[in-house]
Structure 1
Amino acid sequence: MAGNSRRRGAVRKPGTKKGPTVGSGGVRRRGLEGKGATPPAHQRPNHPAAKRAAKTARQQQGKPRNASKDSGVEIVLGRNPVVECLRAGVPATALYVALGTDSDERLTESVQTAADTGIAILEVPRHDLDRIAANGMHQGIALQIPPYDYAHPDDLLAAAKSDAMPPLLVALDNISDPRNLGAIVRSVAAFGGHGVLIPQRRSASVTAVAWRTSAGAAARVPVARAPNLTRALKSWADAGLQIVGLDAGGDTTIDELEADGPTVLVVGSEGKGLSRLVRENCDAVVSIPMAGPTESLNAAVAAGVVLADIARQRRS
């Protein structure tokens, strides 16, 4: 009989009699209402466009950027490193000085050099420098350096061929210390080289340390990056350049090297030397004979010795 069924769901539970009940207070109704137009991308939190807009606003306010978050941008901290970079002619974009910092001759020289070279000088709260210095050892001063503008290997070769002297280029293999890179760039400038080629990965890059070690030569000697060093060397070999490797285990010495023509000197690291594929693509692998018990030279020193010998050959 209707209404007398005892099956599950057929009988209303006690206390569920129809009638006035407590409502939702309009929550469900308001949840169905529209929320208006979608805001622009730069106004949405966590949107990439909003992050870019925030970064631009921070720069306009004179706050130093965090080098760990901005690819390629480097912040040099400390009075000695900053003044050395400025002396070397590093192309900085901003000099930050914390408010209330005690002045000394290094700080005075840094501010004067920045003013003379047109670098923006900005006074910022000390906590802004604390934020980008993990150990807090900024000494109240920081220098912002933009990403280095690397050349293309083909453009580097074309510029070298346009010179009256035969091309003289240096390629680095397994060189991970930026101080070695800077010293080699300095030797290339001193002995008439046309440029330096580095791999895009697993290699030292042109940082503030490299700039400082090069003593400003990085502003005169172009540095190119190759996605694949072996492929770039093969391309240069097809263009008529002699590929000469420099390694402590070389089968010839620099006394037997003839490099008065178009030449690429490939420098290996002091520890690993030349990689297998790079060595296989060299026309010759030379070493520097040692007169004393020292087994090998630092990569930058060895490159300077060979470049000096090549310059001697070309002068004669």
Structure 2
Amino acid sequence: MQNNSNLDESELVYGHHSVMELLKSPTANQRVNKVLVQKGLTSEHIGEVVKIAKRDRLIVQDVPKSKLDSITDGGNHQGMAAYIAPYKYAELEDIFKSAEAKGTDPFILILDKIEDPHNLGSILRTADAVGVDGIIIPKHRSSGLTSVVAKTSTGAIEHVPVVRVTNLVNTINDLKKRNVWIFGTAMEGDNYREWNAKGAIALVIGNEGKGVSPLVQKQVDQTLNIPMVGHVQSLNASVATGILLYQAYASRNA
């Protein structure tokens, strides 16, 4: 097991679902530095976590509830947390390998400067639910894979490859060379309910406030629109992503 004495260089994951998904992941032995459980707290969930951690010879430490409250900033830790090495990003090729392993066409999500880690975590959760093969994010002005993202994703971060790239436009052009059709969102786009999402596709979701950047928008093959009749003509980024991903899922599995 990797034992990193400088825990300031580690990420923190807490809560039953997040810790369990972490411990069940194939890379747990390489990434988990220490598992913390609340002293004096006995529950089926605590026993399950301790059993798996000890089976895999991970360090398990009993700590007071006040310690868990402090390191999670009062979060709902459910009596458990784990320090882990920073999340490792995937390579673009891993996305295509994921699709090939499932025998399906690549289903890719591109996030153009999503800054809120809670949005990224929620998007990861939905992406896992609908079978997205991988997510592509830019290195700059974008949320990375943090403990907040991990917690919000409730374990999905362990199952959806995330690729971080220097230039989204260049990456989109690489995808096009591999016959991936690029979709984006725009007010004047086609109704999303008529979206044919079959084949190798990538969906671009823009920044929470500014939307898809102009240079990226120019690379999109087709734009989609989510009709709205209310007074507020915009949706939270993770909500819009969820609507579009489930439409894509329905189209691809019709």
TM-score in terms of structure 2 length: 0.79
**Aligned-partner residue type, residue 143 of structure 1:** A
The unaligned stretches of length 5 or more in structure 1 are: 1-55
Q: Name 1:299's counterpart in structure 2.
A: 237
**Aligned-partner residue type, residue 233 of structure 2:** E
What is the deviation of 1:158?
4.1
What is the deviation of 1:88?
4.8
Q: SS of the counterpart of 1:176?
A: coil
List, as ranges, runs of 4+ consecutive aligned residues in structure 1 with deviation greater than 6 Å: 134-138
User: Would you say 1:172 and 2:111 are equivalent positions?
Assistant: yes
Bigger strand share:
2
**1:4-34, CA deviations, whole angstroms, 9 ceiling, x for partnerless residues?**
xxxxxxxxxxxxxxxxxxxxxxxxxxxxxxx
> Which structure's CA Rg is the greater one?
1
Q: Name 1:284's counterpart in structure 2.
A: 222
19, 23, 48: which one aligns with 1:86? 19
Q: SS of the counterpart of 1:251?
A: strand
Provide the rounded CA distance (Å) in 1 between the counterparts of 2:236 and 2:137: 18
Q: Name 1:37's counterpart in structure 2.
A: none
Provide the rounded CA distance (Å) in 2 between the counterparts of 1:163 and 1:207: 28
195, 199, 211: which one aligns with 1:273? 211
Q: Is the 8 A contact 1:66 1:75 kept in 2?
A: no
CA gap 1:94/1:231 in 2 versus in 1, 3 angstroms = same
Provide the rounded CA distance (Å) in 1 between the counterparts of 2:189 and 2:208: 17
Provide the rounded CA distance (Å) in 2 between the counterparts of 1:294 and 1:105: 47
Q: State the Cα RMSD in Å.
A: 3.4
Q: Which has the higher contact order (CA 8 A, sep 6+)?
A: 2
CA gap 1:197/1:245 in 2 versus in 1, 3 angstroms = same
Q: Is the 8 A contact 1:86 1:110 kept in 2?
A: no
Q: SS of the counterpart of 1:204?
A: coil
88, 109, 132: which one aligns with 1:193? 132
160-169 vs 278-287, greater mean Cα deviation: 160-169
Q: Name 1:116's counterpart in structure 2.
A: 52
Q: Name 1:211's counterpart in structure 2.
A: 150
Q: Name 2:166's counterpart in structure 1.
A: 227
Q: Name 1:157's counterpart in structure 2.
A: 96
Provide the rounded CA distance (Å) in 1 between the counterparts of 2:98 and 2:206: 24
What is the deviation of 1:89?
3.7
Where do residues 22-171 of structure 1 align in structure 2 (5 Å cutoff)? 59=3, 65-67=6-8, 70=9, 73-75=10-12, 81-83=14-16, 85-89=18-22, 91=28, 92-96=32-36, 103-104=40-41, 109-110=45-46, 112-117=48-53, 118=56, 119-122=58-61, 143-161=82-100, 163-171=102-110
Provide the rounded CA distance (Å) in 1 between the counterparts of 2:182 and 2:203: 6
**Aligned-partner residue type, residue 195 of structure 2:** L
Provide the rounded CA distance (Å) in 2 between the counterparts of 1:154 and 1:207: 23
**1:24-61, CA deviations, whole angstroms, 9 ceiling, x for partnerless residues?**
xxxxxxxxxxxxxxxxxxxxxxxxxxxxxxxx9xx58x
Provide the rounded CA distance (Å) in 2 between the counterparts of 1:273 and 1:223: 20
CA gap 1:111/1:208 in 2 versus in 1, 3 angstroms = farther
Identity across matched positions, percent: 31
196-205 vs 285-294, greater mean Cα deviation: 285-294
The unaligned stretches of length 5 or more in structure 2 are: none
Q: Is the 8 A contact 2:95 2:106 kept in 1?
A: no
Number of aligned residue pairs: give it. Answer: 240
Q: Is the 8 A contact 2:11 2:85 kept in 1?
A: yes
What is the deviation of 1:268?
0.9
Q: SS of the counterpart of 2:247?
A: helix
CA gap 1:109/1:193 in 2 versus in 1, 3 angstroms = closer
Q: Name 2:191's counterpart in structure 1.
A: 253
Q: Is the 8 A contact 2:127 2:245 kept in 1?
A: yes
TM-score in terms of structure 1 length: 0.65
**Aligned-partner residue type, residue 86 of structure 1:** V
Q: Is the 8 A contact 2:15 2:151 kept in 1?
A: no
**Aligned-partner residue type, residue 116 of structure 1:** I
**1:193-238, CA deviations, whole angstroms, 9 ceiling, x for partnerless residues?**
2111111222112222222222222222211111211111110011
Provide the rounded CA distance (Å) in 1 between the counterparts of 2:48 and 2:149: 23
What is the deviation of 1:83?
4.3
Provide the rounded CA distance (Å) in 2 between the counterparts of 1:84 and 1:250: 40
